[in-house]
């Protein structure tokens, strides 16, 4: 792989090497626009910014013939629909992963299998207090995958009520989803299943951002020359 450029609107002009604690490497940070991408001619644009920026950046990349590999969560169904349509229009693929951690992918896979036998389930996700969106993309993706094998249903007492609004969390096809935001946490998620006289918990913990890099490298390598819209790193692992 060859790094051909980088972008950060807050540090335009700074050498990438200096930012990484190295000597200057002769590549300075620039903005994301079609002219720059057509000049640099990258195969892949990797984006971990916020949902608002990543949507604009992905559109710019697609129009420039560059495959965006997106790690930012928070893109809703309408955002993804826009990118899918633009991807098809331009004939350029796009890849989105709610989570690049291989352990998180296995957690979601195990949760989907467990849901076939334990339909009563709740999801609790934990992130640092600087995360903007809630629930996380991983939690939503987990709920989506569980819903593929579990019919929507009402959980808990039919007459339950909340003395404090939001206490029971958000709801996705009857699955309750809870988001915790605290300093000292990076990213964790547990999927709790309940059955007669037993519970089953599937949990994944992330302690370092290095966790994501093997998955990111797989996504970059597999997405080169991509011609379709793909969501989920699990599509590259089978």
In this predicted model, what pLDDT tens digit does every residue of 36-68 receive, in sequence order? 999 999 999 999 887 778 999 999 999 999 999
Task: Tell me if domain 32-96+210-236 and domain 102-207 are identical in fold.
Answer: no
pTM here is 0.78
Helix%, strand%, coil% for the chain, nearest 5: 35, 25, 40
Give catalytic status of residue 38 as yes or no.
Answer: no
Give pLDDT, residue 237.
Answer: 84
State residue 111's pLDDT score: 98
Measured CA to CA, the distance from residue 72 to residue 51 in angstroms comes to: 6
120 in Cβ contact with 193 (< 8 Å): yes
117 a catalytic residue: no
User: What is the reported pLDDT for 8?
Assistant: 87
Query: What does the radius of gyration of the chain's CA atoms come to, in whole angstroms?
Result: 20
pLDDT lower than 70: segments of the chain:
none
pLDDT given for residue 98 in this prediction: 84
Q: What pLDDT was estimated at residue 209? A: 87
Classify domain 102-207 by CATH number.
3.30.360.10
Superfamily of structural domain 32-96+210-236: NAD(P)-binding Rossmann-like Domain (3.40.50.720)
Q: Which residues contact 120 (CB under 8 A, 6 or more apart)?
A: 155, 193, 194, 195
Model pLDDT, residue 10: 86
Per annotation, catalytic residue among 112, 127, 178, 204: 127
Q: Find the catalytic residue in 59, 131, 178, 204.
A: 131
> Domain residue spans in the chain?
32-96+210-236, 102-207
């Amino acid at each position: 792989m060859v790094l051909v450029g980088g972008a950060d609107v807050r540090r335009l002009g700074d050498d990438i090497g200096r930012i990484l604690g190295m000597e200057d490497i002769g590549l300075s940070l620039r903005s994301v626009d079609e002219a720059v991408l057509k000049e640099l001619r990258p195969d892949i644009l990797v984006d971990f910014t916020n949902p608002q920026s990543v949507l604009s950046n992905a559109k710019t990349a697609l129009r420039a013939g560059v495959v965006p590999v997106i790690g930012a969560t928070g893109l809703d169904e309408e955002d993804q629909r826009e990118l899918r349509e633009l991807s098809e229009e331009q004939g350029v693929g796009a890849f989105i992963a709610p989570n690049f951690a291989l352990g998180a992918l296995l957690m979601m896979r195990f949760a989907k299998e467990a849901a076939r036998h334990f339909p009563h389930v709740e999801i609790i996700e934990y992130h640092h207090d600087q995360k903007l969106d809630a629930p996380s993309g991983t939690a939503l993706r987990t709920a989506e995958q569980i819903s593929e094998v579990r019919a929507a249903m009402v959980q808990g007492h039919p007459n339950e009520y909340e003395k404090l609004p939001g206490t029971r969390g958000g709801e996705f096809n009857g699955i309750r989803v809870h988001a915790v935001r605290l300093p000292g946490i990076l990213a964790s998620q547990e999927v709790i299943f309940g059955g007669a006289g037993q519970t089953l918990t599937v949990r994944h913990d992330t302690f370092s951002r290095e966790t994501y890099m093997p998955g990111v490298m797989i996504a970059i390598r597999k997405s080169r020359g991509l011609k379709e819209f793909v969501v989920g790193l699990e599509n590259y692992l089978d």
